[in-house]
Amino acid sequence: MNRRPLWISLILILSLAWGSAAAMLGAGWEPKLGLDLQGGFSVVLAAPEGIDRPVLDQAVETMRSRIENLGAVQEPEISVQGDRRILVQLPGVEDRERALAAVGTTGQLSFRPVYDIQVISPAFLDGTLPLPESLAATTTTAPPGDGGNETTTTTTTTTTTTEPPVIPDDIDPETGLSLDDDPTKNVYLQDDGGLFYALGPAFLTGADMTGAEPGFSGVGIGSGGGWTVDPAFTAEGGTKFEEATAILSTFPSGTPGRQMAIVLDGSVISAPQIAESVGFGEALPSDSVVITLGTSDDAQQEAEDLATVLRYGALPTTFERESEGSVSASLGSDSLRAGLYAGGAGLLLVALALIAYYRALGVIAVLGFTVFGSLLMGTIVLLSRTQGTTLTLAGVTGIIVSIGITADSYIVFFERIKEEHRRGRALRPAVDYGFKRAFHTIVTADTVTMVGSVLLWLLAIGPVKGFALTLGLATVVDVVVAYYFTRPAAQLMVRSRLGEGGALSIRGAMGRPATGGVAT
């Protein structure tokens, strides 16, 4: 048998495993620890007084879905506290604001007709509100040199001051903005650029949507393209959208009436205009609508976050942040240390037992543990750095348990060698043939576990998801180590002096004298 491929496989996997372990230690990369081990960030979100419990429960589920969609497995802890508060705890500190935005953003989306767009709130211009002194000055100076206009404005102001209209209590008298974004009413809202909009009742809201995908588009409706969110409507929502665009397209091009404002949580995100080419009274197909957010780097994240919020729906109520702060680990370093010591002691015992029982083959198993451990930790650290996966105490214990699972692969193999040898095969064929049969068993058994963990990972939520990830990884690494490490190591060992010589050799572990086997 040609030994070269065996050596190559052995050297490659050893350098990969030990090399990556050394690199991680050298670079100081560690897996991110979960809430229970390292603590994190805690915020209490308070809903308005008198909220119903089912509404809070629904909000908790929406928040959880949004968080889980942000990173792979962040394992947040979200619970209802008291009768109107939600306690959110997130591990780690990176991207804290983004995570908090994902939990706290109400996510009320509406598509509204635009009545007017001004540099001050149109509420001051259409007579809904008296013009405050500070703004009156700017308006009067706005068109300079036109005496007539100045007089008119002054007159209007005087009129409104002398006969004060009933100030609607849902509008801020200072800024002229609506206090809440009620989709059934006319509202005055602002966009990021400081423009003020007078908007009509919503054509449709987030409830008419089934999902949203982030994307990048060359051309968006009425703008130059950039990062977009592509919403998908329900059948009813699609009809509403088409009816709305049919109305808007009756307005002449260039007027605000031809624009449709997209409003999220009381702020106008964009107000695209129906393209000029769309004829009078013609409807836009609802599957072609995109929300354009611009081309900046932030816009990409904004698009992704907005899509997340839209996909999992609006929170049923608004929340206010209360008592924010960082929280300590609930278990503390003593538990982690206890877990690691216990794991170390357990590993040592397993190693001793395997060496005592299988002699030289046991040494292969122990070396195999280091390969298994390095590869598993490497993958976890990698996932932790790229996906934000965190390791909780349950995860640490899961890794300790996987020692047992990988030890089993060695035992299946070694017992198989013994059995083949007992049946009269010489030592070398017993190892070669034994591996073939044992690998079949190992793959079958690992597949069952892997299928389980993939399903759990896809379907479950919360801590179960994190567990499934660790377990699934362990089974994959187990198969890889069995094929690329254990097989070449055992085949090389049986052909070396360690194969035949004395009580410590492989033959020594076979439980029968060397003469019992039949040499080829």
Partner 1 sequence: MSLWRNLYRGETEFDFVRHRRRFFLISATLIGISLLSLLVRGLDGSVDFTGGAIVESPNQAEVDVAEYRSELASIGREGARVQIRTERDQSETVVIQTEALSVADRNELVNTVAAVAGVDTNDVNINSVGPTFGSEITRRAIEALLIFLVVVAGFITWRFEWKMAAGALAALFHDLIITAGIYSIVGFEVTPATVIAILTILGYSLYDTVVVFDKITENVHELGTRHTFTEIANLSMNQVLMRSLNTSLTSLLPIGSLLLVGSYLLGAATLREFALALFIGIAAGTYSSIFVASPLLTEWKEREPEWQRMQRRVARRSGETVLTAVEAASASATEARSTGATPRAPKKRSQRR
Of the candidates 18, 29, 115, 433, which one interacts with partner 1 according to CB under 8 A? 433
Cβ 163 to partner 1 shortest distance, Å: 48
Q: Are strands 77-81 and 32-33 parallel, antiparallel or unpaired?
A: unpaired
Tell me whether residue 25 or residue 455 sits nearer to partner 1 (CB atom).
455
Among 98-106, 279-287, 342-350, 485-493, the segment contacting partner 1 (CB under 8 A): 342-350
Tell me, residue by residue from 321 to 340, as one string, x for binding to partner 1 by CB under 8 A and - for no binding.
Answer: --xxxxxxxxxx-xx-xxx-
Cβ-Cβ contacts under 8 Å for 520 (sequence gap 6 or more): 426, 428, 429
Helix axes 133-141, 147-162, angle to 10 degrees: 160
What's the half-sphere exposure (Cβ side, CA atoms, 13 Å) at 68?
21
The rounded distance, in Å, linking the Cα atoms of 308 and 67 is: 9
Tell me whether residue 101 or residue 179 sits nearer to partner 1 (CB atom).
101
Site for partner 1 in 452-471 (CB under 8 A): 452-453, 455-456, 458-464, 467-468, 471
Does 385 help bind partner 1 (rule: CB under 8 A)? no
Helix (H) or strand (E) holding 175: none
Does 97 help bind partner 1 (rule: CB under 8 A)? no
Does 216 help bind partner 1 (rule: CB under 8 A)? no
Does 267 help bind partner 1 (rule: CB under 8 A)? no
Among 81-89, 161-169, 184-192, 232-240, the segment contacting partner 1 (CB under 8 A): 81-89
Of the candidates 114, 229, 350, 376, which one interacts with partner 1 according to CB under 8 A? 350
Tell me whether residue 81 or residue 288 sits nearer to partner 1 (CB atom).
81
Contact 489, 10 (CB under 8 A): yes
Does 439 help bind partner 1 (rule: CB under 8 A)? no
| Collapsed DSSP state (helix, strand, coil) of residue 19 | helix
Nearest to 496 by CA among 438, 431, 436: 431
Among 21-29, 156-164, 305-313, 450-458, the segment contacting partner 1 (CB under 8 A): 450-458
| Collapsed DSSP state (helix, strand, coil) of residue 1 | coil
Site for partner 1 in 50-79 (CB under 8 A): 57, 60-61, 64, 77-79
Does 103 help bind partner 1 (rule: CB under 8 A)? no
Does 419 help bind partner 1 (rule: CB under 8 A)? yes
Of the candidates 224, 436, 497, 514, which one interacts with partner 1 according to CB under 8 A? 436
Tokens of 420: 């083949």
Tell me whether residue 221 or residue 509 sits nearer to partner 1 (CB atom).
509
Tokens of 466: 């994190």
Tell me whether residue 3 or residue 440 sits nearer to partner 1 (CB atom).
440
Tell me, residue by residue from 396 to 415, as one string, x for binding to partner 1 by CB under 8 A and - for no binding.
Answer: -xx-xx-xxx-xx--xx--x
Let me know the angle formed at the C-alpha of 331 by 326 and 332, rounded to the nearest 5 degrees. Answer: 70
Among 4-12, 102-110, 116-124, 437-445, the segment contacting partner 1 (CB under 8 A): 437-445
Tell me whether residue 125 or residue 396 sits nearer to partner 1 (CB atom).
396
Nearest to 428 by CA among 495, 363, 496: 495
Phi/psi-derived region of residue 218, left when phi > 0, alpha when psi is between -120 and 50, beta in every other case: alpha
Tell me whether residue 68 or residue 208 sits nearer to partner 1 (CB atom).
68
Tokens of 243: 């009816």
Tell me whether residue 53 or residue 497 sits nearer to partner 1 (CB atom).
53
Tell me whether residue 411 or residue 480 sits nearer to partner 1 (CB atom).
411
Give the single-character DSSP code of 283.
P
Does 500 help bind partner 1 (rule: CB under 8 A)? no
Cβ 463 to partner 1 shortest distance, Å: 5
Contact 205, 74 (CB under 8 A): no
The DSSP result for 385-419, as a single string, is HHH--EE-HHHHHHHHHHHHHHHHHHHHHHHHHHH
The rounded distance, in Å, linking the Cα atoms of 242 and 476 is: 50
Question: Hunting for tokens 């079958």 — which residue is that?
Answer: 444
